[in-house]
Amino acid sequence: MTCAEAARVMSDGMNRPVERRERLSLQFHLFMCRGCRLYRKQLALIRRWLRSDRLAKAESTRQETVRLDAEARARIQTAIYKGFNEGEDTRS
C-alpha cells in the first residue's frame, strides 16, 4: 500500500466501514509510515474542527459581510406577512 492509497482508505474509513483486507494493509502501512500516522492525526483534528460549534458560530457572526439586500428583505417580509395573515384567517 502506498501513502496515496493509505490516505484514501483513512478518509473512506471516516465515513463508512472499509474492507477487512484494506484495513489490515492500512494498519501495516501506518506501522511503517510516520507521514501517514501524522496525516491520520490531522484528519481527526480536521473533523473535530469542522464539527465544532465554533465554526458554525464564526460563520454566523460574520454576517456583516453578507447581508440580505433591502429588496430581498422587503420581498421576504411581504411574503411572511401574507403567510401570517392567511394562517390567522384559517385559524379563526
Partner 1 sequence: MSEPPDSAPERNRHAPERWLSEYGDAMFHYALARLRDRAQAEDAVQESLLAALSARDTFRGESAERTWLFGILKHKIMDQFRRNAREVRIEDDEETDALIERTFDASGSWRLRPATWQDPGSDLERSEFWAMLEHCIGGLPDKLADTVRLVEIDELDSEETCKALGISATNLWVRLHRARLGLRECIERSWFSGDRTSRRQRS
| Cβ(14)–Cβ(47) below 8 Å | yes
Binding residue for partner 1 (CB under 8 A) from 19, 24, 27, 83?
83
- Burial category of 7 from C-beta neighbours within 10 Å (exposed 0-12, middle 13-18, buried 19 and up): middle
Residue placing its CB nearer to partner 1 in the complex, 27 or 83: 83
Residues 13-42, mask of contacts with partner 1 (x by CB under 8 A): -xxx-----------------xxx-xx-xx
Residues 43-82, mask of contacts with partner 1 (x by CB under 8 A): x-xxx-xxxx-xxxxxxx-xx-xxxx---xx-xxx-xxx-
